[in-house]
Each structure stands twice: as C-alpha cells, then as structure tokens.
Chain A
Amino acid sequence: MAGAQTVSARPGGGASAAAIELAKVAQTWDDIVLALPSIHCGGCIASVERALEATPGVRSARVNLTLKRASIETTGQVTAEQLIAVVKAAGYQAHSLERDVLDAAGSDQTGKGLLIRLAVSGFAMMNVMLLSVAVWSGAQDATRDMFHWISAAIALPAIAYAAQPFFVSAQAALRVGRLNMDVPISLAIVLACLMSVYETTQHGDHAYFDAALSLTFFLLAGRFMDHRTRSVARSAAQELTALEVPRALLQNGTSVAVADLNIGDIIRVLPGMRIPADGVICDGASEVDRSLLTGETMPAAVTSGTALCTGELNLTGPLELRVTAAGSDSSLHRLADLVALAETSKNRYTSLADKAARIYAPMVHILAAAAFAGWYWASGDLRLALNVAVAVLIITCPCALGLAVPAVATAASGRLYRQGMLIKNATALERLAQVDTVVFDKTGTLTMGQPKVEDLSGCRRSDLGVALALAKGSGHPLACSLVAGIDAMGIAGADVSDIREVPGYGVEGRWQGETVRLGRMAWVGGRKSDRTATYLQLGRDASVTFEFSDALRDGAEQAVRSLGAAGIDVVLLSGDAPAAVGNIADRLGIKAWGAEMLPADKAARIAALRKTGHKVLMVGDGLNDTAALAGAHVSMSPASALDAARVVSDIVLLGNSLEPLAETLQVARLATRRIKENFAIAALYNLIAVPIALAGFATPLAAALAMSGSSISVSLNALRLVRR
C-alpha cells in the first residue's frame, strides 16, 4: 500500500556534494536531472538550454517547463555540481534532484502504463456507452442483443487489459489474508462482466458493460493521479552511513579502511579531509568545520588534546589523531542509529483514504451479500438475486472515493510546486494540516549558513587590497567571504609576497617590507569585537577589524510573522552558541529558543512536544537535524540541505525563500477540508443510491448517471484548490 517503506541502495556516486568531495568519484550515471524552481517562460528555457549545451561534457539538455526541471544527458565527465554552477551563472536557481523523487513524480514506466490503460478504458467506455444509450432509449429484441454482444466484444478485452492493476493488487492482498480497496473493486468489475455476459446469452434487459468500464476508467484516473503524488520513502539512516569516510591515512602514510582501524591507532588528517574516526589530537593545530554535526557557523580552533568527531572537516592544518572510537562506535554511526530509531518509532500515520477504505471495503461486501441473501430468500430467483447483488456492488463501488483523495492531492501539490514546495510524501499534506508548532533550525534554515562580511566602505582601499591578497591564501570560510566582499568592490589585490597560512591562526605575508597578518585577534592583535570578526595588521598601524554576520534567509521574517499571526507556536533550536541564536531569535521575534543543542537534544525536544500532544513541523537542513526531522510529525528541508536531511523530509523547499511556508500550511488545511468534503459527497451519493439498488430498482442507466455524477462533482470540488 501507499505507506510501504522501500529501502533501496542509492546508485553509486550520487549527487551529494559530500560524497564527491570525499571520494572524488566521477558521476556513475550519465543522466543528471536538475530542478529549476525559478524558470517561468520560453526565454528561460532557451537560455538554460543554451548555457547547458555549451558546457563541455553535455550531450544534450532538455528543459521541462511543466515540471520545472532539466534533464541533461552527459558523457559522464561532468558532475551535477558543475552543471548547477553553469545554470546559476545563467541567472537561475538550480538543485540536483534525487532519482527516486523523479521516478515518483516524473513520467516513468508505471505512470505511462497507467496512462495507456486509462486511454484504453476511456475509449472502450465511450463506445460501449454509445451502444448503451441506444439500448436505454428503447432498442428491442435482436437489435438489443446485437448491441450487447458488440459491447461485450469491446468491454471484455478492454477490461482484461485496463483493470489489471486492480486485479494484481487485490490478489496480493487476498494472498496475505487482508482486504483492501481493490478487492471490492475487482469483485465488482469481474461480477458485472460475468453477469452481463450471462444476461446477454439469456436475452436479458440489462447489461452492465458500460458500468464496469466507467468504474475502471474513473478508478484508473484516481490511480494515475495518486501515482504522480506517491510517497517516496527511503531510509535516511543509510544516507548517514554513506557519509562516513571509507579510508583513513595512517601515520606512516599507508591508507587503510576505516573498518580496520583500532583504538589507539595514530592517523593523519590533512587539510580538506573529513575526520574518519572519533579521536583526540596528539599533534598539530588547525580549525575544524563542525557545522555538519552541530550547526555552529564558525570553525572551531583545535590543538593537541581536543577531541574530534567523525564527519568534521579539517580546514587549515594537518593533524595527527589518536583514535578513540571507530566504525560502529563512532559518533556519526551513533547518530545514524538515532535516526533509525526515530524512523521506526514514528508511529505510522494512517491516511484519510486508508481510514475510509478500512470501513468501506467490508461494508460493500456485507451489503452486496445481504442483498443477494435477502432477495434469494424472498423470491427464490437466483438470477434476480444475483442481478440485484451486482447492482449493489457496482453502485457502492468507490468511484468517487477513489478520486476523492488523489484529485485533491494533485491539485494541492501542483499549486504548492508552483510556489517552490516539492511534496515528497503522499500523506504529508494531511499531516501538515494538523501542525500547531513549527520548530526551526538556525544555520542553513533561518539563515543562509554563510558568513557575510559587513560594511567595507569605512576601510582604506589599500588595506582592502592587502586583505584580499592575504585572504586568497586561505580556504577558511571567513576568508572566502572577505574575498567575495572585496572583489565585489572592484579592488585588485596588493602585491603581497611570502604568503603562508599558519594553521589555527590565520595568514601571514610580507608587504612593502613589513609583515602583514590576517586572522585571529590573539595572533594579530587589535581591538576585540564581540561579533564574529577577523583582523588585519599592517606593520605598526592599528589593526583593521572585519565583522561578519550570517544573513537571514529570504522570507524568514515574513514566514515567522505569518505563522505567529496564524496562532502557531514557533521554536528555534540550534547547536550554535547562545549569543548567536539569541540574536537571530530577537531579530525574528521568536520567544522560545534553545542553543548548544546536540542532535539527540533536538530529537528529545521534538519527542517531548509530541508527548504533550503537539503536532510538530520541523524545518532543518543539517546532519544534526536529521533525527529531529525523522521524529517530527512533518518535516521540511531546503534544497540546499544535506542529502540525509532531504531524504528524511516530507517536503523539500526548492526556492531560496521561506516565505511560502505559512501559505503551505494554509493550503494543506484547505486540502484536508476538500478531502473531507469529497468523502461527504461520496457518502451522500451512496445514501441515496444504495437503498434504490437494494430495493432492486437500479438500472444500468441509473448506475451510469450516479457514478459519473459523483466522480465529476468530486473532481470539480478538488479543482477549486488550484485557484489562488
């Protein structure tokens, strides 16, 4: 059924930045698909295609405006990251899409098969209906029999082909001794066909070929829409273990598999490498980027004696590490276990459709059986009793019910997709509608996660030139941001010689005969800033201070404000330092916030909120959020998030802005209301039609009218969602 968990191994290589950075493996599939949330017209198509096709290694590129994505056929020599850069340079946002998401939402083989079955049943339905109208309007005797035979000749092969999905699913359910919606459907279709053939041979008045076909057609329409919004469930715990560095470098330079490391081994970690195993530094000084694990924006300085965790990124200097835990004991592995636990403990949500089916399927069978038994007992006529039972089965058959949920889900997710929200899970909308608390992560979610240098206009141009030359000598995030800031002012780098990076401190060089330094205050000297800052020392002059701040994500303020206005609690949980978190919380007006939270703390906080009856929407992007995302009622992550976080999320935010968040909640509530209205319509129709069928007054004409009437009204009700 829809909620079944499929755990599949990802194809090697993958589009994960981390995986490429780690193993430097070439893309192993030659087809790349990018999501392009910001394209909207023919001009966009042309410029994106032109830019992509001009890239070496690209065989062909085709933009799909309806799905807002580009499929690129490559020779295998370019990575998704390079292509994203090309599209960004052309002025459009781009993200790589996971294969599984594509298979669910794209035009895959299953979808195509359903579409063709839909066409076959539609064609057969219309032709048989044409003949049936002649019968209903009074064709008699031989003419009527001939029309019935022609109908049978069209309907039987058409149904044998088109209704296969229902037969297969019903058979699978029966084999394990369960009842699903497809059992009454299959029974109704098969019985209606058999009964009609029998009636035709007996020169009877009524044949239900048209009903069997329209049943197939409407249900296939629902199935097709359902397929396009189907859920993609994959285990995020697997993604996490894939992040582990496979090999480590021993002290003597030999490379060994991480699995073979023993506690107490000394390993070497060069700048730019991720830490392969938990350990304590025994030699060297550097800075490490912990943002993946903790959400801290600023790299931390580390020296001998500091404990490091698997997955952290060594930035500046080589380190020697004494291993304290490796493989299944490492902190990354423990995090994966935590996520796996959250995934299994998350009580599986029963969708509205499943709830309805659970009541409905047995009820249909009981009613039909009762009708058969009652009429046989009352009249003793087997043929009449069977006819009434088939009529009941056809009339109660859940045409409108089969369309009620998929039609709404298609309309709602289409509307949200246009606003940059990719709904990955079929029940996400229903769960989203129940949300009363939103928990945000800070770094990378409410903020962009990249330090941005503050106002440079107060600095002398010559100072900036020196700073630029020095900053270019380092891969430190602050240096990179400084380079970007100064470059944007059009200043050329000064002629600084002997540039060398001092791990853990900064960059040093010689300029006009004097030593110049850019880096930490303790090393450079200067007036201490209480913000994130780096310092520049020019000879004997007073030092220059560059201050940085983490920019808020677009729309973060509006999103928080409109959530508050809608009466939804907003909580900010971050692994960052209290000052930084407090600052962001103040700027956004969030009252409830927590800082320095470990991944387990976040998950525990979510679990606590769950226990007190809150329905939590978690919005996060990092490794440290994965457990919380898995444990929350609904989860959402930006497209820039780590693979593991995106996989575990129900909704992916494709655009850069958080602004549509509040409207998404509103659309979700509206969608749930429409689904319930649709159930009411279907119930109302049954309330009128079932007594008529039970009384034995139902004719094929009445069945056809009621069936199409209810299906159309349900679809029209769903379409009201498309309008803004």
Chain B
Amino acid sequence: MNVLAYLIPVSLTLGGLGLAAFFWAVQGRQFEDPDGDGQRILTDEFDDRPKP
C-alpha cells in the first residue's frame, strides 16, 4: 500500500492545478460569454494578428 504515499499527493496536486486553472479563467472573464466566444472565431477580423 506504500504506493498510496505517492498517488494521493499526486492526485491532489493535479486536482489543485485544475482548480488553479479555473480560478485563472474566472478572473480572466472567460466564462462571461460562452455563446459569443464560439461565434467570434468565425469572424475575419484579427485573423492576421490579435486585437491590440
């Protein structure tokens, strides 16, 4: 059962990374407009370079 000593910290760290990524995404306002973000990739604007 010694493998648990590695696996439990590993699983918690990976989960924690996911949680941190979610915090980052919320702060970056990525959940404010799911419909619009899907549509925006279809426009031709800023195809050559990102919006300043």
Q: Tell me if chain B binds chain A.
A: yes
Cβ-defined contact, A107 with B29, below 8 A: yes
Cβ-defined contact, A115 with B39, below 8 A: no
Cβ-defined contact, B12 with A154, below 8 A: yes
Cβ-defined contact, B26 with A112, below 8 A: yes
Cβ-defined contact, A119 with B19, below 8 A: yes
A126 partner residues in chain B, CB cutoff 8 A? 15
Cβ-defined contact, B8 with A150, below 8 A: yes
B36 partner residues in chain A, CB cutoff 8 A? 45, 63-66
Cβ-defined contact, B40 with A66, below 8 A: no
Distance, CA A468 to CA B8, complexed state (A): 83
Q: Which residue of A lies closest to B5 (CB)?
A: A146
Q: Which residue of B lies closest to A47 (CB)?
A: B43
Q: Which residue of A lies closest to B12 (CB)?
A: A127
Cβ-defined contact, A107 with B19, below 8 A: no
In the complex, chain B residues 1-26 whose Cβ is within 8 Å of any chain A Cβ: 1, 4, 8, 11-12, 15-16, 18-19, 22-23, 26
Interface residues in B, total, Cβ within 8 A: 24
Cβ-defined contact, A64 with B33, below 8 A: yes
Min CB distance, A52 to chain B, in Å? 14
Min CB distance, B50 to chain A, in Å? 15
Cβ-defined contact, B40 with A45, below 8 A: yes
Distance, CA A116 to CA B20, complexed state (A): 10
Min CB distance, B49 to chain A, in Å? 17
B1 partner residues in chain A, CB cutoff 8 A? 143
Min CB distance, A138 to chain B, in Å? 13
Cβ-defined contact, A66 with B33, below 8 A: yes
Min CB distance, A415 to chain B, in Å? 15
Q: Which residue of B lies closest to A126 (CB)?
A: B15
Min CB distance, B26 to chain A, in Å? 6
A115 partner residues in chain B, CB cutoff 8 A? 26, 31
Cβ-defined contact, A46 with B43, below 8 A: yes
Whether A488 sits at the interface, judged by CB under 8 Å, is no
Q: Which residue of A lies closest to B41 (CB)?
A: A42
B34 partner residues in chain A, CB cutoff 8 A? 66
Distance, CA A123 to CA B15, complexed state (A): 7
Min CB distance, B34 to chain A, in Å? 6
Distance, CA A115 to CA B22, complexed state (A): 10
Whether A41 sits at the interface, judged by CB under 8 Å, is yes
Whether B32 sits at the interface, judged by CB under 8 Å, is yes
B33 partner residues in chain A, CB cutoff 8 A? 64-67
Whether B35 sits at the interface, judged by CB under 8 Å, is yes
The listed residue (A46, A120, A146) touching B19 by CB distance below 8 A is: A120
Distance, CA A154 to CA B18, complexed state (A): 15
Distance, CA A381 to CA B1, complexed state (A): 35
Distance, CA A59 to CA B36, complexed state (A): 20
B35 partner residues in chain A, CB cutoff 8 A? 65-66
A45 partner residues in chain B, CB cutoff 8 A? 36, 39-40, 43
Distance, CA A120 to CA B31, complexed state (A): 16
Min CB distance, B13 to chain A, in Å? 11
Chain B residues within CB distance 8 Å of chain A: 1, 4, 8, 11-12, 15-16, 18-19, 22-23, 26, 29, 31-36, 39-40, 42-43, 45
Q: Can you list 22 residue pairs at the A/B interface with Cβ under 8 Å?
A: A42-B40, A42-B42, A45-B39, A45-B40, A45-B43, A64-B33, A65-B35, A65-B36, A65-B39, A66-B35, A115-B26, A116-B26, A119-B22, A120-B19, A123-B15, A127-B11, A127-B15, A131-B8, A143-B1, A143-B4, A146-B4, A150-B8
